[in-house]
Chain A
């Protein structure tokens, strides 16, 4: 049953991801990315990461994708030919990486370590335990993340505001 659910989510994720790359209209691309985000969130729920599933929907689908859609509508790009001349190179690189990944996963020499005994079924993924880890072990990276967001905000304002650099 769990495998069945996983296969459904995986199939939809892969199809939506391919549509993002293949579809001609950027709006349809963004919408199929939305479908993919929702199914990734579903995958997180099956992995008992409910907090991340909520965050995935709120931040990715709610904030980031809306930003994309705003820009797509704002720029009003006319449809152009979609692929450039690097197609063969990209295809070659993709095939090489894919075979490498499959070989690494399937080959005998590579095995994922067994889960530590007794911790496999532990209450992983609830918001409380994530908060405890985040504010104790990872407190300093958490502060750095807030700094990154501040820098990104200032950078976005400076880049997109007209004439803020030329006036001085």
Chain B
């Protein structure tokens, strides 16, 4: 309990920014999804740190829900990647510049 909560905030901010830069910089769709996982984990670290700091369990319950959303996002995202790969034989985001409407 001796680690101040600001340390966790700095760690979480760093991981979040690494994930954000990863989403913007990489071309591979799978790495982009992995970077989104990084950002979700950064928010989870913050939730748990504050939950422990305030002695309130709600933060941990919210981590539980964030995990549910992450699982749903992975399932749908990977299905989209497989469908895209079937059409274009590539998962490079630069190949998907044209959206049909």
Interfacial residues, chain A to chain B (CB-CB below 8 A):
2-3, 6, 10, 13-14, 17-18, 20-21, 26, 29-30, 33, 36-37, 40, 43-44, 46-49, 51-52, 55-56, 59-60, 63-64, 67-68, 71-72, 74-75, 77, 80-84, 86-87, 89-91, 93-94, 97-98, 101-102, 105, 112-113, 115-116, 119-122, 124-125, 129-130, 133-134, 137-138, 141, 145, 148-149, 151-153, 155-157, 159-160, 162
Contact = CB atoms under 8 A, between A and B. Distances in A.
13 contacts: A17-B15, A17-B18, A20-B22, A30-B34, A55-B64, A75-B30, A80-B27, A84-B26, A93-B20, A101-B10, A102-B13, A120-B1, A156-B78
B17 A80 contact: no
A2 to B, nearest CB: 5
Contacts of B49: 47
Given A14-B14, A21-B22, A67-B78, A49 B35 contact: no
A141 B60 CA distance: 14
Given A83-B25, A98-B17, A101-B17, A133 B74 contact: no
B24 interface: yes
Grouping DSSP codes into helix (H, G, I), strand (E, B) and loop, the B interface class, with mixed when no group exceeds half, is: helix
A97 B34 CA distance: 20
A72 B27 CA distance: 14
Contacts, number: 238
Contacts of B67: 55-56, 59-60
Contact of B79 (A17, A55, A130, A155): A155
A124 B50 CA distance: 12
